[in-house]
Amino acid sequence: MHLLRKLGFYLVALWAAVTLNFFIPRLLPGSPVDAVLAKLALRGPVDPGTRRAIEIMLGADDDTPMIQQYFAYLGGLFTGDLGISVTYFPTPVTQIIAQSLPWTLVLVGLATTITFVIGMVLGTFAGWKRGTWLDSLIPATTILQAVPYFWLALLFIYVLAVNLDLFPISGGYNPSMVRPAFDYPFLSNAVYYGFLPALTIVLSSLGGWLLGMRNMMVSTLSEDYILTAEAKGLSPRRIMVMYAARNAMLPSVSGFAISLGFVVSGSIIVESVFSYPGIGFTMLQAVNNNDFALMQGLFLIITVSVLAANLVVDLLYGVIDPRTRARG
Amino acid sequence: MAQTQSQTPSRLRAALGRALTPSLVIGAGLVLAIVLFGLIAPFFVADPNAVDNAGMHGPSAQNLLGTTQTGQDVLAQLAWATRGSLLVGVIVAFLALFLSAFFGILGGYLGGWLDEVFSLFTNVVLILPGLPLMIVIGSYVQQRGLLLIAIILAITSWAASARVLRSQTLSIRNRDYVQAAKIAGEKPHRIIAVEILPNLLPVMSSGFVFALITAILGEAGLSFIGLGVNGTQTWGSMLFYAQNGQALTLGAWWWFVPPGLMIAVLGGGLSLINFSIDGIINPRLRNAPKQLKRVKQAGKQAEQEQAERAEGDTGPDERDETSGHDPDQEEVAV
């Protein structure tokens, strides 16, 4: 029952994303055709026939009722048809997404996992040693959290890449040295290029995890069962890890949804700063070229990935916290 | 009568003293300084868009923060950008507060199917990634006014605090005084306004501060990729022009460091304020350090007394801990 409810929620969220994706371009003022025409007009006078050509190119020449278009769109999604990119004409959108998705998945996935682990461990200690000098470190992490992702990225590029020449300024790998393949030269090169983007994401999202965990630790440590555990004479380490941290972690795990949205949003801009060949960078190129099919395909794939990651975390949560299973 | 009059001010002062933590004072100071800068400085600086033939150069007596690639004064731009960013932030924070209060409190109080629908809606909005949605909307609209950007930012940022407000409302709804008001025949809107809202104020103010940070960061991100408000200077748009003007490779740190620093300092100040609000909402966080010190002192005292009594002889309980087999330790290692 609990599982069905969860799956139902994700289906509703998926439907909402798909529907938003369909209606945003059709209900907002200004059509994609106007946007492309406005861009062309900057370069010189536009031929009257151009409008018709662009309409056909973007599929805006459709006179069928909107509800019919909607179902045609849903059908297209099921067959994996997301349209054709204008930027990389005539490559299908799905192919471009397939090229850029692995970069982002690895970058954001690894960075988020690292951040989560560091945040939980440090938060556990900060909560355990509450009232000591560690407390004075907490405000520092929140200031780090208030730093915009992309500004931190700019600083890293300026100091570490431009001035000290330790890391590359942009890109995902060095195309003149290695080719994408599953071998050591390519992977090590990719790690070298991905280090600064990952560091940016880790540093700017660490504060939230750390603070949340620390506050939950402080709350949990004043529970009666902690006192009981102390009275039983259990070792402090066991109390800290098995009694306090295990319970204090739960809100952090269930808060994964909110934070992942933030991380993905932040990584889009980080990718654009580093020209990292992932989803975010591709999305901004689509924006700059008025490539609406690509943009919407990317929005869809980002949303689906976030939903999928949350579904996995939710299912894991049932394993971690037996109470959720009992309730259902 | 005379007694209560003399008591109230001192009690007020005590409450104020408890609320005025160092973090609140520092945070409020930082925020106030930036707000004043945004309000006053634009009247005293030169035209932020005036182009100068001197081109880009570093900080000097004439241009305290140097100039951009086209010779525009960075300090003047920063002053106007501060005003623009704060304006967007405040508008968005109020919109988000209203939305979260509407969906959170109303759903939580009325319950039933309305609550189901509202919380489903809240959770869906919460889980959809905000920035990609903003990018898609922002790129379709060519004329991006201040209000449009504010609305886009607000509809993607209210959900988290609506969820907090709902759970708080759920717990307040069942308290005795709310039940009493219901039995006394009070109307729902009056119960919400008089009995529930005052108790939610700390949570709502914390949510407002949080929304302000999110809004300013979100606007900066949107402007940084060139999808911000048309024709308005903000911290994000300054960074956008700095990035496009090769400020990084040319080493023009005076161009891209100040706007980001302003965001970071403002965000840090607002978080410090939120810390103290958190301390007021959750006294456990505030009292924890003091309590721990007390426990430590008591422990030290007990140790001393024990040492004096035992006089060199190890107590039996201490031996137990070191030599006895402890199954717990192994479990931890696994």
Nearest to A6, CA basis, from A303, A254, A321, A311: A311
**Percentage above 70 pLDDT, chain A:** 88
- Kindly state whether residue A46 falls inside one of the protein's structural domains: no
A239 in B contact zone (CB under 8 Å): no
- Are B229 and B223 in contact, with CB atoms under 8 Å apart? yes
Between CA A143 and CA A104, with CA A314 as vertex, the angle to 5 degrees is 60
Chain A contact set for B217 (CB, 8 A): 146, 148
Q: Is the pLDDT of residue A140 over 50?
A: yes
Of A9, A13, A28, the CB nearest to B141: A28
**A81 min Cα distance to partner chain B (Å):** 19
Instruction: Please report which confidence band the pLDDT of residue A328 belongs to, taking 50, 70 and 90 as the band edges.
Output: very low
Nearest to B139, CA basis, from A90, A86, A271, A71: A86
Q: Is the pLDDT of residue B55 over 60?
A: yes
Q: What is the mean pLDDT of chain A?
A: 80
Q: Determine, for residues B136 and A24 on separate chains, whether the beta-carbon distance falls below 8 Å.
A: yes
**CATH number of residue A284's parent domain:** 1.10.3720.10
Q: Summarize the confidence of residues A75-96 as an average pLDDT.
A: 78
Q: How far, in Å, CA of B281 to CA of B110, rounded?
A: 24
- Kindly state whether residue A86 falls inside one of the protein's structural domains: no
Q: Is the pLDDT of residue B90 over 90?
A: yes
SS3 call for A109:
helix
- Kindly state whether residue A37 falls inside one of the protein's structural domains: no
Q: Is the pLDDT of residue B49 over 70?
A: yes
A17-26, A170-179, B130-139, B277-286: the lowest-pLDDT one? B277-286
Q: What is the pLDDT of residue A165?
A: 78
**B53 min Cα distance to partner chain A (Å):** 26
Q: Is the pLDDT of residue B158 over 50?
A: yes
Q: Summarize the confidence of residues B89-100 as an average pLDDT.
A: 93
DSSP string, B101-169: HIIIIIHHHH-HHHHHHHHHHHHHHHHS-HHHHHHHHHHH-SS--HHHHHHHHHHTTSHHHHHHHHHHH
Q: Both tokens of residue B295? A: 């426990």
Helices and strands (H and E) in chain A: how many: 15, 0
Structure-model confidence comparison of residues B7 and A320, the more confident one: A320
Helices and strands (H and E) in chain B: how many: 16, 0
Count CA atoms closer than 13 A to B293's CA, side-chain side: 7
Q: What is the pLDDT of residue B103?
A: 92
A125-129, A274-278, B242-246: the lowest-pLDDT one? B242-246
Q: How far, in Å, CA of A92 to CA of A80, rounded?
A: 10
Q: Determine, for residues A154 and B221 on separate chains, whether the beta-carbon distance falls below 8 Å.
A: no
Structure-model confidence comparison of residues B245 and B142, the more confident one: B245
Q: Is the pLDDT of residue B7 over 70?
A: no
* Mutation for B interface: A26, A154, A272, most B CBs within 10 A: A154
> What phi and psi values does residue B69 have, to the nearest 5 degrees?
-60, -35
Structure-model confidence comparison of residues A198 and B15, the more confident one: A198
Task: Say which residues have a Cβ less than 8 Å from residue A290's Cβ, sequence separation at least 6.
Answer: A32, A35, A36, A39, A86, B139
Instruction: Please report which confidence band the pLDDT of residue B310 belongs to, taking 50, 70 and 90 as the band edges.
Output: low
- Are B223 and B231 in contact, with CB atoms under 8 Å apart? no
Supply the pTM of this predicted model. 0.79
Q: Both tokens of residue A39? A: 């861009």
> What phi and psi values does residue A92 have, to the nearest 5 degrees?
-65, 150
Q: What is the pLDDT of residue A220?
A: 86
SS3 call for B51:
coil
Instruction: Please report which confidence band the pLDDT of residue A327 belongs to, taking 50, 70 and 90 as the band edges.
Output: low
Give me the residues of B, 55-114, that contact A with CB < 8 A: none
Domain tally for chain A?
1
Q: Is the pLDDT of residue B289 over 90?
A: no
- Are A214 and A140 in contact, with CB atoms under 8 Å apart? no
Q: Is the pLDDT of residue A178 over 50?
A: yes
Give yes or no for a cis peptide into B9 (omega within 30° of 0).
no
Q: How far, in Å, CA of A166 to CA of A151, rounded?
A: 19
- Kindly state whether residue A233 falls inside one of the protein's structural domains: yes
- Kindly state whether residue A71 falls inside one of the protein's structural domains: no
Residue position matching structure tokens 């931190």? A152
Q: Is the pLDDT of residue A45 over 80?
A: no
Task: For residue B191, give Cα distances in angstroms to A221, B88, B106, B180.
Answer: 36, 33, 11, 10
Q: Determine, for residues A269 and B23 on separate chains, whether the beta-carbon distance falls below 8 Å.
A: no
- Kindly state whether residue A277 falls inside one of the protein's structural domains: yes
Chain B contact set for A158 (CB, 8 A): 248, 251, 253, 256
- Are B108 and B204 in contact, with CB atoms under 8 Å apart? no
Task: For residue B316, give Cα distances in angstroms to A227, A264, B307, B323.
Answer: 22, 56, 13, 11
Task: Say which residues have a Cβ less than 8 Å from residue A57's Cβ, sequence separation at least 6.
Answer: A86
Q: CB count, 10 Å around CB of B214?
A: 24
**Percentage above 90 pLDDT, chain B:** 9
DSSP-derived letter for residue B240 is H
Q: What is the pLDDT of residue B321?
A: 37
Q: What is the pLDDT of residue B322?
A: 36
Chain B contact set for A152 (CB, 8 A): 260
Q: Both tokens of residue B98? A: 């209203």
B262 in A contact zone (CB under 8 Å): no
**A207 min Cα distance to partner chain B (Å):** 11
Residue B67 pairs with which residues in a beta bridge? B73
Nearest to B273, CA basis, from B198, B213, B221: B213
- Report the phi/psi class of residue A180: left, alpha or beta, with left for phi > 0 and alpha for psi in -120 to 50: beta
**A149 min Cα distance to partner chain B (Å):** 9
Count CA atoms closer than 13 A to A62's CA, side-chain side: 14
Q: In this structure, is the dihedral angle defined by the CA atoms of residues B156, B157, B163 and B166, taken in order, positive or negative?
A: negative
B323 in A contact zone (CB under 8 Å): no
A181 in B contact zone (CB under 8 Å): no
Q: Determine, for residues A150 and B239 on separate chains, whether the beta-carbon distance falls below 8 Å.
A: yes
B217 in A contact zone (CB under 8 Å): yes
Q: Which domain holds residue A165?
A: 97-293
Q: What is the pLDDT of residue B332?
A: 35
Give me the residues of B, 138-197, that contact A with CB < 8 A: 139-143, 160
Instruction: Please report which confidence band the pLDDT of residue B333 belongs to, taking 50, 70 and 90 as the band edges.
Output: very low
- Kindly state whether residue A157 falls inside one of the protein's structural domains: yes
- Kindly state whether residue A62 falls inside one of the protein's structural domains: no
Task: For residue A241, give Cα distances in angstroms to A106, A178, A212, A265.
Answer: 29, 44, 16, 32
Q: Give pLDDT tens digits for A285-309.
A: 888 877 778 888 888 888 888 888 8
Q: How far, in Å, CA of A156 to CA of B248, rounded?
A: 10
Task: Say which residues have a Cβ less than 8 Å from residue A323's Cβ, sequence separation at least 6.
Answer: none
- Are A185 and A178 in contact, with CB atoms under 8 Å apart? yes
Q: In this structure, is the dihedral angle defined by the CA atoms of residues B168, B173, B176 and B181, taken in order, positive or negative?
A: positive
A229 in B contact zone (CB under 8 Å): no
Question: Closest residue of B to A34, CA-based?
Answer: B142
Chains A and B form CB pairs within 8 A to the count of 206
Q: How far, in Å, CA of B310 to CA of A215, rounded?
A: 39
Q: How far, in Å, CA of B71 to CA of B49, rounded?
A: 9
